[in-house]
Amino acid sequence: MSGKRKRVAIVAAFVTIFVFLSLPLSVSRSVKEFVTGFFSPVFSVSRAVADKLKDIWKVTFHGDNIVRENLRKERELLRLHAKLAEEREKVRELTSFHTQLRQVAERGFDVILARVIAREPDSWYQTLLIDRGRKDGVQRGVAVVHGDDLVGRVTEVGRKWSRVRLILDVQSAIPVVTLQGNITGIVIGSGPGELKMTLIRHNAKVKVGDVVVTTHLAPVPTQEAPLPQGLVIGRIASVVPEEEGLHQSAILESEVGFRHLSEVLVVVPK
């Protein structure tokens, strides 16, 4: 645009403004409303575009902060979930312990809470050490339980510790009886993690699922001190006839998680 045309345009603009200002108020208001109405679609589109650009600006330049904040919140939520699970496990263990105390006390015995402090690594001779001994009242031969289930019996006692032979040990021999049918036998450890009920009469009707508990009515004499009656050993999983035909045997399943025991109860006479 030449200099002359620029000057003409400037003069025309000033004249237009002067004329607009010179108009009566009602006329100038009408003109303003007309101009506003004419250009309102343009203004609306411009405003929408400006808002969208503002959002893009926020996401582009502040997105990292939003992502970091979301990650922080997710980590905090996971931490709270883990804490809640831990507290629930503590409540479960405490409830289980009180249940065990009540079950054993009902049989007329006192109990001593003990923690497992060591395990024997051998697969056949399975024993563990607990943190209770003579000073706590532990005696050789007493039962060690977890709830209603027999874990083993104490074979050696120190001042502040005791050794427990698990019922899984090959040297363990527990006189037992079935709750269904009153069938007697001896439960021994027959290998890694296995329990076997032997000396069952060949004509005894032993059934899979029968519960086996401790008893004083042993089919043969034992040298160890008698255990409290009624402690659960396990359930019969299968029945196998002996080769001689005089007896039959059964494989038992215990509900005790022997590998994961952390606390047990030592049962002592009152």
**pLDDT tens per residue, range 26-65:** 545 555 555 455 445 544 555 665 666 666 655 555 556 6
Predicted TM-score (pTM) of the model is 0.60
Residue 194: its pLDDT value, please?
83
Closest alpha carbon to 130 in 96, 169, 156, 101: 156
What's at 28, amino acid-wise? S
pLDDT in tens, 113-145: 999 999 886 666 789 999 999 999 999 999 999
Using CA atoms, how far apart are residues 142 and 162, in angstroms rounded to an integer?
Answer: 11
Domain ranges in the chain are 3-56, 110-270
Mark out the alpha helices in the chain (DSSP H runs).
3-22, 25-105
At residue 157 the predicted structure's pLDDT band, cuts being 50, 70 and 90, is very high
The percent of residues in the chain predicted with pLDDT above 70, rounded, is 60
202: helix, coil or strand? coil
- For domain 110-270, give its CATH number from 3.30.950.10, 2.40.10.340, 2.120.10.30, 1.20.1440.130: 2.40.10.340
Q: Is pLDDT larger for residue 59 or for residue 209?
A: 209
pLDDT the model gives residue 216: 81
Distant-in-sequence, close-in-space partners of 249: CB < 8 Å, separation ≥ 6: 185, 196, 197, 198, 200, 239, 240, 242
> Average per-residue pLDDT in the chain?
76
